Structure 1
Amino acid sequence: MQERMRMQEVAPGGYRKVLELNTYVQANVNPTLLELIKLRASMVNGCAFCVDMHSADALKAGETSRRRLALSAWTESPFFTEEERAALALTDAVTRISEGGVPDQVWDAARAIWSEKEVADIVMAAIMINAFNRIAISTRRLPEGA
């Protein structure tokens, strides 16, 4: 497989806007939770570049290999907190939005844990990583060293 283009070189202004959203969520979402959101959405979307990058980033940030691997089956895994599970459910729903939107039970579970602003920031994090996944998949971005 060959990369089609480097979006950051061909459309730098648009790419910078997605980077700005990344900067926003980094400042507003717990770093551990953010890495789980990025890795989970990338798994759901099948983005090899992003799975590779965010798996490595999560490891560097102190995430365990066990939890990184369990993320692919998080609904069946005992390794995630109630807060993480709510964020992962919201991430899955936002990522799979065309399959029925974000169900009330998913939204309500997140709101039972976080403020309206915190939920908004988690949604923004899911939107951000989905944008990067779509850039990487459509341009066939390869993992570093591939």
Structure 2
Amino acid sequence: MEARMKNPAMVLPDAMKGVRNLLKGVHQGGVPRRTLELVHLRASRINGCGACVHGGVASAKKAGESDARLHAVAVWREAPFFTDAERAAPALTEAAARIADRTGQAVPDAVWDEAAGRFDEDQLAALILMIATTDFFNRLDATVQEPAGPTWN
């Protein structure tokens, strides 16, 4: 399979500069890199972005993530491998990534309160920005039909 076109953020150089600056800020928010990688991977799996799942696994492994935890991201609630904070992060990710599936609050108070109890304001900002940036790339890749594989690592 071949993409319809090059990733739009790569076509327009200033767009990619903005994304890089955004991600730089995300990584300065105080959330452990492994947690950010799990958030990226969970959102990408929800959104069905094969390219982002593939890249997310590679990035998580570079951050020291184990195969057992990577395999369990989709079933994080049942898996014994995650801390309470690491459970709050994918719960927030799922709520934020699935806002179109909800009526009422996009992120229920219980999910928000759990995340806010585990992360400070800077960390919450980093998590929310990571979720949104992942959703951004998931939508770009889905639109141009970016295949999974070593096309952008």
One fold, TM greater than 0.5?
A: yes
Structure 2 CA distance for aligned equivalents of residues 83 and 22 of structure 1: 21
Matching residue's letter, 1:73: V
Deviation per CA, 1:25-71: give whole Å up to 9, x if none: 12223211111111111111110001001101111221110100000
**Given the alignment of the two structures, is residue 91 of structure 1 paired with residue 88 of structure 2, yes or no?**
no
RMSD over aligned Cα, in angstroms? 1.5
Whether 1:46 and 2:52 are equivalent positions in the alignment is no
Which amino acid is the alignment partner of residue 58 of structure 1? A
Contact 1:18 1:131 survives alignment (8 Å): no
Counterpart in 1 of 2:4? 4
Provide, for residues 72-105 of structure 1, a one-character-per-residue CA deviation record: whole Å limited to 9, x for no partner.
1111111110000001100111111112211110
Question: Residues 1-146 of structure 1: matches in 2 within 5 Å?
Answer: 1-6=1-6, 7-28=8-29, 29-100=31-102, 101-142=106-147, 143-144=149-150
* Structure 2: distance between partners of 1:9 and 1:65: 30
Q: Deviations over 1:111-130 (max 9, x none)?
A: 11122232122111111111
User: Does the CA contact (< 8 Å) of 1:47 and 1:137 recur in 2?
Assistant: yes
Structure 1 residues 16 and 4 mapped into 2: Cα distance closer, same or farther (>3 Å)? farther
Q: Secondary structure at the match of 1:75?
A: coil
The separation in 2 between residues aligned to 1:22 and 1:94, in whole angstroms, is: 18
Identical residues among aligned pairs (%): 39
From the two aligned structures, give the one with the greater helix fraction.
Answer: 1
| Cα offset, 1:9, TM superposition | 4.1
Residues 56/131 of structure 1: CA separation in 2 closer, same or farther (3 Å cut)? same
What is the aligned residue count?
A: 145
Q: TM-score, normalised by structure 1?
A: 0.91
Q: Unaligned 5+ residue runs, structure 2? A: none
Displacement of 1:8 in angstroms is: 3.2
